[in-house]
Amino acid sequence: MMTHREACDLFASEDLIGIGMAADSLRRKLHPEDVVTYIIDRNINYTNFCTEYCSFCAFYRPMGHKEGYVLSFETILGKIQETVDLGGTGVLMQGGLHSELKIEWYEDMLRACKRRFPNVHLHCFSAPEVTNIAEVSGLTLHDTIARLRDAGLDSIPGGGAEILDDAVRHRISRLKCSTGEWVDVHRTAHQLGMRTTATMMFGVDETIEQRVNHLECVRRLQEETGGFTAFIPWSFQRENTSLGRFVKSEATAVEYLKTLAISRLYLENILNVQSSWVTQGLKTCQLGLRFGGNDVGSIMIEENVVSAAGARNHASEEELRRIIRDAGFLPKQRDTLYRTYFLN
Ligand code: SF4
């Protein structure tokens, strides 16, 4: 396995093509059938009220703000119906950290979704939201996750990880959960039999060592539990955010591809690595398929958080299939757990 030092050396290297080829070769070993996957799903941002004031976030509104909202269950169910009508198999539900919504609200919402759409996969509530639900409700993490699971939660997204290094977190999201808390949520979910994903938002003036600390943290937990289905790195989008004024510049395509490839190499024990078109655009996403990526993520019927921060890329299913084919791979629709039993 690659060491922390070796990963830092690769980041310092100019040999982008060599790093990409090494990542591509590992990708081929892990996915010899030359398939690249994508999912049709929808992000539902059930509330934008939030108490955390993260400096990279253009989405949240403080409690009581006139532009704040909490979606009604009927609106959420309507959005799921539209997803199903478009061939979607799941929803990714995330929101701000609301200081008054207790676990009963989340349980009622999950039950309402499962009652009407028993086959739709509910991939919901990133680690800071889960921690917040536990705190607001006076429950342990274990009981919170177990109750959400029993109400219909199928898996947990990796959001809120940003960079898993407390010095960076203190600078960009001081109030949000610590590295240890993020890990605890994912470990507890894995122990309860749930799968989760891991993400990384880089390009916030972290050092290379701190970026590799993140990879190390994810790799260690995967060694312990095996519960991660995928790793999804993406770069900070600075428009409309207070952090954007201070970060020197957004990550370039070269930096993105290098980070993607090194992530693939470092996280040998995570099967899937995603190349992102939402933050990088279709062309860089396509290149990413030769830099270790074996998945292009979601058609994304709706996404408010990244688009609030200036990412304005759009793609139809046919476009995603085309960029996958043109890169030399076979496109296949998958579900949230990366299963590709669909007939296409
Ligand atoms: S990133 Fe999440 S936790 Fe931070 S302010 Fe935005 S909605 Fe709140």
The pLDDT tens digits of the residues spanning 135-148 come to: 999 999 999 999 99
Q: Which domains does the chain show, CATH number per domain?
A: 4-333 (3.20.20.70)
Give me ligand 1 centre to Cα 98, in Å: 10
CB within 8 Å of 163: residues ≥ 6 apart? 169, 172, 200, 201, 202, 204, 206, 210, 211, 213, 214
Q: Which residues of 80-110 are buried (b: 16+ CB within 10 A; e: fewer)?
A: beebbeeebbbbbbbbbbbeebebebbbebb
Does 293 sit in the ligand 1 pocket, CB within 6 Å?
A: no
The owner of tokens 């950290």 is 97
Confidence (pLDDT) at 313: 59
What's the pTM value of the predicted model, to 2 decimals?
A: 0.94
Q: Pick the atom of ligand 1 nearest to 128's CA.
A: 3
| C-alpha 338 to ligand 1 mean position (Å) | 27
Angle at 326 between CA 321 and CA 11, to 5 degrees: 100
Nearest in space to 289 (alpha carbons), one of 265, 259, 257: 257
The position carrying tokens 């507890």 is 188
Cα angle: 211, vertex 169, 253; to 5 degrees: 40
* Angstrom distance (rounded) from CA 27 to CA 173: 33
Residue with tokens 């791979």: 329
- Of 53, 57, 181, 306, the one to substitute when testing ligand 1's pocket (max ligand atoms within 8 A of C-beta) is 57
Q: What separation in Å is there between the alpha carbon of 13 and the centre of ligand 1?
A: 34
Characterise 302 by phi-psi region: left (phi > 0), alpha (psi -120 to 50), beta (else): beta
Cβ-based neighbours of 66, under 8 Å, separated by 6 or more: none
Ligand 1 atom with least separation from CA of 48: 7
How distant, in Å, are the alpha carbons of 86, 118, 306, 323 from that of 67? Answer: 29, 32, 18, 38
Distance 68 CA to ligand 1 centre (A): 13
Evaluate: CB of 195 within 6 angstroms of ligand 1.
Answer: no
Strand bridging mode 228-235 / 195-202: parallel
59 lines ligand 1 (CB under 6 A): yes
3-state secondary structure the chain: CCCHHHHHHHHHCCCHHHHHHHHHHHHHHHCCCCEEEEECEEEEECECECCCCCCCCCCCECCCCCCCCECCHHHHHHHHHHHHHCCCCEEEEECCCCCCCCHHHHHHHHHHHHHHCCCCEEEECCHHHHHHHHHHHCCCHHHHHHHHHHHCCCEECCCCCCCCCHHHHHHHCCCCCCHHHHHHHHHHHHHCCCEEEEEEEECCCCCHHHHHHHHHHHHHHHHHHCCEEEEEEEECCCCCCCHHHCCCCCCCHHHHHHHHHHHHHHCCCCCEEECCHHHHCHHHHHHHCCCCCCEEEECCCCCCHHHHCCCCCCCCHHHHHHHHHHCCCEEEECCCCCCCCCCC
Query: Whose C-alpha lies nearest to ligand 1, atom 1?
Result: 57
pLDDT at 342: 59
Regions of the chain with pLDDT less than 50: 343-344
pLDDT at 244: 76
Give the pLDDT of residue 249.
77
